[in-house]
Amino acid sequence: MAGNGVFGEIIDGDVFKYYADGEWKKSSSGKSVSIINPTTRKVQYKVQACTQEEVNKVMEIAKVAQKAWAKTPLWKRAELLHKAAAILKEHKAPIGECLVKEIAKPAKDSVTEVVRSGDLVSYCAEEGVRLLGQGTFLVSDSFPGNERTKYCLSSKIPLGVVLAIPPFNYPVNLAVSKIGPALIAGNSLVLKPPTQGAVACLHMVHCFHLAGFPKGLISCITGKGSEIGDFLTMHPGVNCISFTGGDTGIAISKKAGMIPLQMELGGKDACIVLEDADLDLVASNIIKGGFSYSGQRCTAVKVVLVMESVADTLVEKVKTKVAKLTVGPPEDNCDITPVVSESSANFIEGLVNDAKQKGATFCQEYKRDGNLIWPLLLDNVRPDMRIAWEEPFGPVLPVIRIGSIEEGIHHCNASNFGLQGCVFTKDINKAMLISDAMETGTVQINSAPARGPDHFPFQGLKDSGIGSQGITNSINMMTKVKSTVINLPTPSYTMG
Ligand code: G3H
């Protein structure tokens, strides 16, 4: 159970503590923030409502801790990360349980998220020792007008304090996708978890604590966005922000100073289906891509663009599969579970009502009970409907029938998002042409969009983000290049 056993010290009464300077602390505010269980719609947990003063303190400590950490041998950093990964995986059950209660993620997927996170941390350690264990050596005589009198030694050095802000849908995994690269690269890390998902994050951070990372290197500060959100992102002590979430990221990027930003801000991933596609494969991928975790994934299939001639057959196949999805509480491992909040459910309902008014074909009856929304496929969606463009972040999937490939590409590219997309066809040449034409960070050929495996590059174009993620890219992004140039009095040529 949450806050028990080795996790006993992270809770005080019924309020979880925040983590700073290597200790679990109560906020001086004396206030807490409640976390509502999406299934019961009752308060499940409480976390500290930290103050701006506490943020200042955390930043100060993070700065000091980073200086010492940057002098810690790379192999030692990696060793600690491997240790944290093992502890994290050992405690997959209680952390998974927090995910079930805070974000209504199906129980099995919650545990998978924790295991995936442990693997990600280990991979960061392995990738980091190789990537950061080498630099470049340049000689001056390759540039016109120079003799070989200068040797340039370049290596990657840490940025300083990295601020990590993960979203509710993968609070643990998308936190460690920032923590792992930051730490192996020699940075310190301040984590601001999402409110829903905060308790899972606090448990995850305790695993790093148990692994024995130095005091102050990792902090986890909880609280209201209105009180500490802007204060954190605009804090002069922050040297890099890695954010995953919605369009708040655009606001953050406008306010942040001259620091590297890594952002993933959602998508409206299109699934283009050609006439020669294997429609059974497409249908399975639409179900997996559109309805896993009730559609609450940035990389979910969010619009199907299918050639008119195969649309009836495909819609029938998907309908048959939708009917088999189980709907209910996350504890029962149902496929479709309550969406994260009432406001999210209301937003989804708004999109559904708009589509109804404008004449979309409802393949199932629209049904909602509290935050639980039954899976819904909307056929014959047209571009004048909101659902054609907006991200429902719920189990509602629009189908737009297209007359040509160009029409599909045009719809995909007219979106302000550009995260991923997918194309289904047996013709690899056509697939490549379509992939090249789609303005998205990734195109999957014959499979649904997905971020993983976690070492693959992951990036969004347009409003979907800044920078590229994936383990290697994140490590690179969380470093800067430093050069030392050795100037020789006379040219020197290395002889064999
Ligand atoms: O929601 C955003 C995540 O980065 C998507 O990750 O493709 O593993 O579900 P996923």
pLDDT of residue 1 exceeding 90: no
Note the pLDDT tens digit of each residue in 32-74: 999 999 999 999 999 999 999 999 999 999 999 999 999 999 9
The pLDDT tens digits for 329-363 are 999 999 999 999 999 999 999 999 999 999 999 99
Q: Is 66 in the pocket of ligand 1 (CB under 6 A)?
A: no
Pocket probe for ligand 1: among 113, 170, 265, the residue whose CB has the most ligand atoms within 8 Å is: 170
Beta bridge partners of 303: 270
Atom of ligand 1 nearest to the CA of 451: 7
For ligand 1, atom 8: residue with the closest CA: 451
**Distance between CA atoms of residues 298 and 314, nearest Å:** 24
Atom of ligand 1 nearest to the CA of 296: 1
Considering only CA atoms, which residue is closest to atom 6 of ligand 1? 451
The CB of 452 under 6 Å from ligand 1? The reply is yes
- Residue 115: pLDDT band (50, 70, 90) is very high
**How many CB atoms are closer than 10 A to CB 266?**
24
pLDDT confidence tier of residue 90, bands split at 50, 70 and 90 = very high
Q: Is the shortest distance between the CB of 46 and ligand 1 below 6 Å?
A: no
Residue recorded with tokens 């810690």: 72
Instruction: Give the distance (Å) from ligand 1 centre to CA of residue 216.
Output: 29
Residue 75 pLDDT > 90, yes or no?
Answer: yes
Give mean pLDDT, residues 92-107. Answer: 98
How far is 178 from 183, CA to CA, in rounded Å? 9
Return the closest-CA partner of residue 197 out of 164, 175, 228.
175
8 C-alpha to ligand 1 centroid (Å): 31
Whether the CB-CB separation of 449 and 299 falls below 8 Å is answered with yes
Pocket test for ligand 1, best of 297, 339, 471, 473 (most atoms within 8 A of CB): 297
* pLDDT given for residue 11 in this prediction: 98
Is the CB of residue 170 below 6 angstroms from any atom belonging to ligand 1? yes
Supply the mean pLDDT for the chain: 98
The reply to whether ligand 1 has any atom less than 6 angstroms from the CB of 233 is: no
- In angstroms, what is the span from residue 454 Cα to ligand 1's centroid? 10
Q: Cα of 80 to ligand 1 centre, how many Å? A: 26
Q: Is pLDDT of 419 > 90? A: yes
298 in contact with ligand 1, CB cutoff 6 A: yes
Q: What is the dihedral of CA 232, 238, 239, 240, to 10 degrees?
A: -20
Assess contact for 188 and 69: CB atoms under 8 A.
yes
Bridge partner residues of 445 (DSSP): 423
Q: Summarize the confidence of residues 269-290 as an average pLDDT.
A: 98
Average pLDDT over residues 12-25: 98
Question: Rounded to whole angstroms, how far apart are CA atoms 272 and 415?
Answer: 14
φ/ψ of 299, rounded to 5, equals -95, 15
Cα–Cα distance measured from residue 96 to residue 308, given in angstroms and rounded to the nearest whole number? 43
> Measured from the CB, is residue 299 less than 6 Å from ligand 1?
yes
Ligand 1 contacts CB of residue 422 (under 6 A) = no
**Hey, which of 113, 451, 468 would you mutate to test ligand 1's pocket, going by the most ligand atoms within 8 Å of its Cβ?**
451
Q: Kindly report the pTM of this predicted structure.
A: 0.97
Q: Indicate if 127 belongs to the active site.
A: no
Q: Per-residue pLDDT averaged across 303-325, rounded?
A: 98
Cα(299) to ligand 1 centroid in Å equals: 5
| Tokens describing residue 155 | 């290596």
Distance CA 95, CA 99 (A): 7
From 264, 316, 365, 406, the catalytic residue: 264
Q: Separation of 151 CA from ligand 1 center, angstroms?
A: 44
Mean local confidence (pLDDT), 238-249 = 96
- CA angle 79–80–83, rounded 5-degree value: 90
Count of H-run helices and E-run strands, the chain: 14, 28
CB distance 297 to ligand 1 below 6 Å:
yes
Q: pLDDT confidence of 180, banded at 50, 70, 90?
A: very high
Instruction: Judge if the beta carbon of residue 451 lies within 6 A of ligand 1.
Output: yes
Burial class (CB in 10 A: 0-12, 13-18, 19+), 143: exposed
What amino acid occupies position 390? E
Q: What is the mean pLDDT of residues 295-322?
A: 98
What is the distance in A from the centroid of ligand 1 to the CA of 263?
13
Give yes or no for a contact between 169 and 339, defined as CB atoms under 8 angstroms apart. no
Mean pLDDT, rounded, for 142-147: 98
Distance 135 CA to ligand 1 centre (A): 32
Q: Residue 181, preceding bond cis, omega within 30 degrees?
A: no
CA dist., res. 338 & res. 294, Å (int): 8
Packing angle, helices 74-90 and 107-131, rounded to 10: 170
Count of CA atoms in the C-beta half-sphere (13 A) of 429? 0
pLDDT at 176: 98
CB atoms within 10 A of CB 171: 31
Of 105, 169, 454, the one to substitute when testing ligand 1's pocket (max ligand atoms within 8 A of C-beta) is 169
Mean pLDDT of all residues in 159-174: 98
As a whole number of Å, the end-to-end CA separation of the chain is 66
Atom of ligand 1 nearest to the CA of 293: 9
The confidence score (pLDDT) of residue 217 equals: 98
Residue 82, both tokens: 């491997």
